[in-house]
Structures are given as structure tokens and as C-alpha cells.
Chains A and B, each alone.
Chain A
Amino acid sequence: MTTDPCFLGIHELHDRLRRREMSAVELTEALFQRIDATDDAIRAYLAICREQALEAARRADARLAAGEVSSKLLGIPVALKDVLLTDGVTTTCASRILDGFTPPYDGTAVRRLKDAGAVPLGKTNMDEFAMGSSTENSGYAITRNPWNLDHVPGGSSGGSAAAVAAGQCIAALGTDTGGSIRQPASFCGIVGLKPTYGRVSRYGVVAYASSLDQVGPMTRDVTDCALMLQAIAGHDPADSTSVDVPVPDYAAALTGDVKGMRIGVPIEFFATGLQPEVEQAVRQGIRELEKAGAVVTDVSLPRNDYAVAAYYIIAAAEASSNLARYDGMRYGPRAEAGDLTATYMKSRAQGFGKEVKRRIMLGTYVLSAGYYDAYYLKAQKVRTLLKQDMESALSGCDAIVAPTCPTTAFKLDEMTQDPLQMYLSDILTISVNLAGLPALSVPCGFDDAGLPIGMQIIGKHFDEATVLRLGYAYEQATEWYTRRPAV
């Protein structure tokens, strides 16, 4: 077991901080040393806020010295995906169109972490506006997978995933619109949770596809995931889509006992196109849960094959509307051209990257006169069917268990020339977003090349507790989550 504090869990560090064996300032400095030593190779961070972090660590130390022990996050260094607004710290969404943008307030999830005493170290790289599955669409940097620097970390929360895997933070926040927490978690061998739509406030999260976006934790084990979720979950009057339902004690769900729990295995998710090692590892993972007493049944998601098409119509449509606000008038660089419209057009053309333009174009097209019914309305109807399929599969079990992704991390540049191919790699994660369900990815093995594999656990609406309980029991039965990359 490692003793390097950069690789310890929140729960272990909390004990050390509480006993004053280590101060929050010392811990924060250790993390910055680790970042300095490794981030030239990985490029997980877009911005480091050293001064603010040390100040926050000093405040945490003062609270600890005053005997405060209630918050497990007190003094814990975290990384934040650059889609989350941070008061006084540059937030660009990895887009040139927000170059230098400094928000005047914190998003709610960030605010709640800060109130709990967490220490934000910096902002992590991502696909521009969270559009992508490899973090290669960043307007600023290419992030590399800590397990193999020739491979992508996944996306769009690739910077957060790489930072957690490489010990450059203790935990991180990401966002998941079509798999953007779970897929990079799977590719980087860490734990990632997409909460139920409405569980975590989207206030202060730069919008990509508003009916799908959700903030969630990325951590090295399930216990830390539960602690992070506890801090950020709950109703927020500032987000009208956040839902006012009670937040349970997530740590209490981590009993290790899954006897009699019913898990559904969706036959379609194993039907085609899985890398053999992925299928093998996930099937082995399901057997582990069975050995622990869970009851396994087959379930069917008969129309999952249509999820990619429905998702990319809906997400692109919402994106084209949300991104209309970037016009070079109130923030970001302005490219002056003849009149107002020409200035809009030039500023947007210079500010947005390739993939963002592609999705704005696609979204504008499917919403335009003559095509709305054929594409957008059709996709919304298919969304109803996909949600019904998920609910019907979940009616006979407590959770669904499946691979997170069809493959392990692909190579840099392997998919960039074929956008549709990249979209299709999201096939196992996006139905969850369309249906608004919670889903966890936990490490469940490695392929022959030494790249991590993730197992996905999908739960019912607002039942993150069950998903975490299964993930924890699985984790305790295996050692995968203790492996560290050599970087």
C-alpha cells in the first residue's frame, strides 16, 4: 500500500489531517510538487491556482486546529474541470472563445466543495465545451493518459481523470453529458460517477446540452466518490432543474453487503464490437458480484442501437442554442469586421474549434425550418422509447451492470479524422444520459497492453446509494483500484 500522500484517499487523509500528522498546507504543497514533476508530460491542468490554494489550505488548517472534524473534505486538494465557473480563476471550457475569461462567482458544486473546506488546485483540460471523447478537442493542450502517454485519457473530462490517476489531486469534479465522466474514468483506471439528472446543481456550469449535463465526482475509490457526492448533491434554488428530494448518507450505503441484490446484464451491450479483454473483465466482474451474493439476470435494451443518433441530434440542437451567447460582445476576444453581424460571424469562426463548429452546424440544421420534425422531434420521440427501455430493464433489478466503453483508451490521433466513429464509441454510456439515470464506472481490470478497463453500474433515478453500494462491494473484492500508473 502506498504512503505517498498524493495517492491516499480522502478518508485516509482526513484521519491524518485530523490528528495533525500532516497539515493541509503540507498536503497541498506535496500535490503541487507532484504536478510540477509530472504535468509537462501529462498536461492535465489548464490553470493552476497556487496562491488561492495555499490560502484555502491555511484556512482549512485553522478550522482543523479549532477542532472542526465534521467535514471529511476539510483540507483535501481537488481539481475542477474547466467547465465549472470559479470566482477569480480563469474558466475557458478549453475554448479560445473564452480566452482569459474570469468568472465573478463560483458555480454551486464548486461553492459547496469550498464550503466543505476542499482546496481547489486548478482547472483541468477537457474537450472544448465538453464536446468530445478524447480531450483532443481542447483549444489549448493535449492531455495524455498516465498509463500510456501515447494514448488519450478519454473525454471530455480527460484532464480531471488524468489528474486523479496520476496523483495530481486527491479527487476531481467532471461533467457528463454523454459519458464524459464515466468514459475517461474507465480509460484512466479510476472511479467516476454521473449522478441522476437534477441531483447536482448545474448553476455555474457552462452549458453544453442542458437537458443532459450533470456534474459528478472522479476519484480513486468508491468511498471518496461517495464523500464527494455528499458534498455537492442536493437541491439548489439557483438551478430550476435541480430536484428537491432528500440526499441520503452515501457513506452509510457502503456496507460491502450485496446479498440478494438483483443485477441486470443487458444482452445488447455485449452483443457486438467489444474488445475481447473488455468483455472478459466485465463478465469476471459480474461473477465477483454474484460470488458476493448478488443475483444476476439478463435484461434487454432492445433499442440501444438508436441511442447515438438520437443523442447527437438532441445534444447538437441544445448546443447550437446554448452557444449562441458567444458573440465577442461581453467576454472573450472580438474579431472586428465591417458591421455587427460580420463581427459576430468572424469572432465565432475564430473562437470555436472544429468539433464545436461541427456540432453547432448539425444542431442548427436539425432545428431549422423543414428539418425540425424529421430530425429533432423524431430524436425526442426516440428518447422517450430509450427511457422506457431503461426503466423497463431496471424494473426487474436493482441495477444494470455492463462495460463502460467498448474498448480501452485509443491512441492519440487514432479517431480524430472520423467524427462519426468517435461518436459511435459512446454507445454504452449515452442512453443513461438520455434517461437521466445515475451511473458509476469502476476499474475492473487491464487489457494485454496494460490499459485500464471500466465496469459500469447503472441505477434507478436518484438511487446513487445502490450504485455506490454495488461498486464498493466489487471494489473490496478486488485489487484493481489500488494499481497506480508508473508516471
Chain B
Amino acid sequence: MKITSEEVRHVATLARLDLAQDEQERLAGELDRILEYMDKLNELDTDGVEPLSHAVDVVNVLRPDRVVNQPRTDALLRNAPARDDDFLRVPKIIE
């Protein structure tokens, strides 16, 4: 077993996913099989190999801190699931 049901529950909490019991069980089986396949990578010797996070060489890209777009508050807020005037309504975050 690469991944236990308990680990699946833990990862689901980290990922903020409220998974039903049957979903957890199905995922445990699927992830187990996928992770077992991923172990194939251990056949390759990667000692001394640099990790690659990007296909093209990138350096920091800087620009002047200048506003170039027009605020479109209403267009943005029209997508909000809950709105109060020009504000988003969200659940209470401070006790």
C-alpha cells in the first residue's frame, strides 16, 4: 500500500476537499495504483541532476509599479456569490 485511507483523509483536509466516505475509498485505490506507477522514476539515477522547474530559462521580470488597467469593481463583483454593496460578503473569519 502506497497510501492509506487515513492519509487520504489527511490530504483531503490539506486540499480543502470535503470527500464522502465512498469517494475517499475510491480515491485511495486509484491513488495507490497511480503512485505505484510513479515509483518507476526510481529506476533512473538522478544523483547530481539539477531539478527543472521551467522549460525556458527565466530570470526575474520587473516592471514599473504603475496602474495600467481601469478598476471594474462592478464587473468583478457581479461574479461574487454574496455581495454587500461594493464588498464581498464572506463567512466570519475572526472569532
Mark A residues whose CB is within 8 Å of B: 100-102, 104-105, 196-198, 211-212, 237, 240-241, 243, 303, 305-306, 308-310, 312-313, 320, 324, 327-334, 336-337, 339-346, 348-349, 352, 357-358, 360-362, 364-366, 368, 375, 377-385, 387, 419-420, 423, 433-437, 461
Q: Is B93 an interface residue (CB 8 A)?
A: yes
Within 8 A of A (CB), among B48-88: 49-56, 58, 61, 63, 69, 72, 75-76, 78-82, 88
Which range contains the number of B residues in contact with the other chain? 35 or more
Given contacts A102-B79, A329-B81, A382-B44, contact A364 B14 (CB under 8 A): yes
> Residue on A with the closest CB to B12?
A361
C-alpha spacing A366/B31, complex, angstroms:
11
Determine the chain A residues whose CB is within 8 A of the CB of B18 once the complex forms.
337, 342, 345-346, 348-349
Q: Are A362 and B56 in contact (CB under 8 A)?
A: no
Q: Are A105 and B69 in contact (CB under 8 A)?
A: yes
Determine the chain A residues whose CB is within 8 A of the CB of B69 once the complex forms.
105
Q: Type the 1/0 row for B1-41, where 1 means its CB is closer than 8 Å to any CB of A.
A: 00100011001111111111001000100110111011011
> Residue on A with the closest CB to B95?
A339
Other A-B pairs beyond A102-B79, A361-B8, A387-B55, 12, CB < 8 Å: A100-B79, A306-B43, A329-B81, A332-B81, A337-B18, A349-B19, A352-B17, A358-B31, A362-B31, A380-B51, A380-B52, A423-B34
Q: Are A349 and B49 in contact (CB under 8 A)?
A: no
Given contacts A306-B41, A365-B3, contact A381 B51 (CB under 8 A): yes
Q: Are B11 and A361 in contact (CB under 8 A)?
A: yes
Q: Are A343 and B56 in contact (CB under 8 A)?
A: no
Give the interface SS of chain A, mostly helix, strand, loop or mixed: helix
Determine the chain B residues whose CB is within 8 A of the CB of A342 once the complex forms.
18
A365, A375, A385, A461 — which one has the most chain B CB atoms within 10 A of its CB?
Answer: A365
Q: Are B40 and A306 in contact (CB under 8 A)?
A: yes
Interface CB pairs A-B, < 8 A, 14: A104-B76, A196-B56, A198-B55, A331-B80, A339-B91, A345-B13, A345-B18, A348-B16, A349-B17, A357-B23, A358-B30, A358-B31, A375-B38, A380-B51
Determine the chain A residues whose CB is within 8 A of the CB of B17 once the complex forms.
345, 348-349, 352, 357, 360-361
Which listed residue (A320, A361, A385, A419) contacts B44, Cβ 8 A?
A385
Q: Are A384 and B93 in contact (CB under 8 A)?
A: no
Determine the chain A residues whose CB is within 8 A of the CB of B23 once the complex forms.
357
C-alpha spacing A303/B93, complex, angstroms:
49
Which listed residue (A305, A310, A340, A387) contacts B91, Cβ 8 A?
A340
Determine the chain A residues whose CB is within 8 A of the CB of B7 once the complex forms.
365
C-alpha spacing A197/B56, complex, angstroms:
7
C-alpha spacing A309/B38, complex, angstroms:
5
Given contacts A329-B88, A333-B81, A365-B11, contact A379 B58 (CB under 8 A): no
